[in-house]
Amino acid sequence: MADEEEDEGPVVELGEETPVEGQPLARIAARLTWPHEKSRIVEQEGDSVVRTPSGPQTLSDVLESVDETYFDSRQTFVDLVRDVIGNGPVETE
C-alpha cells in the first residue's frame, strides 16, 4: 500500500537537460577533511573545475585570490571561496 501512496504524488516536468560545466563548490569541499592548508587543497583538488556565476574556473585559480593559507573548517573554506567567485546563477552552455 505504501507504493500506491508514492505513485499518487504530483508529476513535475523538469524540461530539457542543460549541461553545466564544472562541479558545485560543496561537492569539492565534501571530499576534503578539515582543517586543511591551502597548499594541500591545491595539490589534491586544484585541477577540479568549479561552477561560478562568471563561468567555470579551476579551484587553483580561485584559491590564488584567497588570502588565507589555512582553513579551520569546511564552512570557512566555502565562505572564503564564495567571496571570490560570488553566489548567483551559473552560466549554462
The verdict on residue 3 lying in a domain is: no
Number of domains in the chain: 1
Q: How far apart are CA 88 and CA 4, in angstroms?
A: 39
The verdict on residue 92 lying in a domain is: no
Q: Residues near 83 by Cβ (< 8 Å), separated by ≥ 6? A: 66
Q: How far apart are CA 74 and CA 84, in angstroms?
A: 16
User: Which pLDDT tens digit goes with each residue over 45-80?
Assistant: 999 999 988 889 999 999 999 999 999 999 999 999
The verdict on residue 93 lying in a domain is: no
Q: Which residue range(s) make up the domain with 68?
A: 21-85
Q: What is the pLDDT of residue 78?
A: 95
The verdict on residue 72 lying in a domain is: yes
The verdict on residue 15 lying in a domain is: no
Residue 85 C-alpha cell reads as: 567567485
